[in-house]
Amino acid sequence: MRSRFKFSLSDMLKQHRRWEKTIAKAVKVTRKALAPSAKPSPAAPAAKARTSAKPAAGLQEVKAFGSNPGRLRMLRYVPADLPKKSPLVVVLHGCQQTAQAYDLGSGWSTLARERGFAVVYAEQKRSNNGNLCFNWFRPSNVTRDRGEVMSVRQMVAKMASAHGIDRKRVFVTGLSAGGAMAAAMLATYPDVFRGGGVIAGLPYGAARDVHRALSAMKSAPERPGQEWGDLVRAASPVTGDFPTVSIWHGTRDHTVSLSNADALVQQWLDVHGLKIDAYAQNDVDGHVHRVWKDKDGRTAVELYLIDGMGHGTPLKPRPASRAKADTPGPYMLDAGISSSMHLATAWGLKKPPLL
């Protein structure tokens, strides 16, 4: 697929051979693992799932939260004395990661403690996917009120009932397979989420099986914007007031092609009824930032192109003297810009004023 982001196309072509090797490895891993489960994930940091009820970083497991048709784990972080009607952020890790590992890298629980909101992590199980990838490409898991998306929806409902969460301020973000699943949550439950952040992910409806998932990772399917938008419109009974979408992608990502960021932009611009060329552009921490606003002047879709970054979540580590957040690691990359911080700010999750 020909990307609209012309300045990055040459980088992608120059790295063609490296990319082919990456795909070959991904295919090999997938075929080997097809017996227990299907998994079209990119290579990702190996990590063992924790089974304790209280993992580090303040995450606590919630055992019962509904029928859980997707058979996921639910882990939460709730700051002490969290007021009623506080916001909630749902976070979805990447392949071969755990909730704890992603929280350590992204710093969402640290931001929640500082800014006064709750966090819930959905965590994949190896019994569902041997690579710990969310099954973003299986219709049975990304159809409203079915599978994994329903499990995540039930986690939101559990947090709302247990902690008095403001249902009008619920957000979702994720990396890679978790980013694709975040896009699926926005499409299937636009009445639940006010906004989302898709990091190195794929558009909703990009694939329906393992083979097509691997193909989409290499290059997003070629579809007009309206067809991409139709996939979202068909995913739920909602007819308007769709969530805002923030799309993040490294210009040298050779695991999930940059063309997927292009397709995501087309998909959500069509949903919001906006034109591809009607954007404002600025520089944020040395990276390209494009913004499309609705008729009321509010940001509906935004795109961050992280210059020179590969596959991962962009971070900006804090000084050692401050509370830990944005900790680099495998696929958690120091890019001089904090996606977690910018997403929280865009969603209005700001530090409370000093009294």
Residues marked as catalytic: 176
CA dihedral for 247, 240, 208, 90, sign (positive or negative): positive
The residue written with tokens 């399917």 in the block is 221
Distance CA 323, CA 34 (A): 42
Distance CA 76, CA 168 (A): 19
Decide if 218 contacts 19 (C-beta within 8 A).
yes
Burial class of residue 318 (count of CB atoms within 10 Å of its CB; 0-12, 13-18, 19+)? middle
Least Cα distance to 101 among 118, 70, 123 occurs for 123
Rounded (5°) CA angle 273-88-283: 55
First to last CA, the chain: 54
Decide if 282 contacts 243 (C-beta within 8 A).
no
- Residue type for 107, please? G
Helix H or strand E segment including 60: strand 60-62
The residue written with tokens 């998932």 in the block is 213
- Phi, psi torsion values for 298, nearest 5 degrees: -95, 145
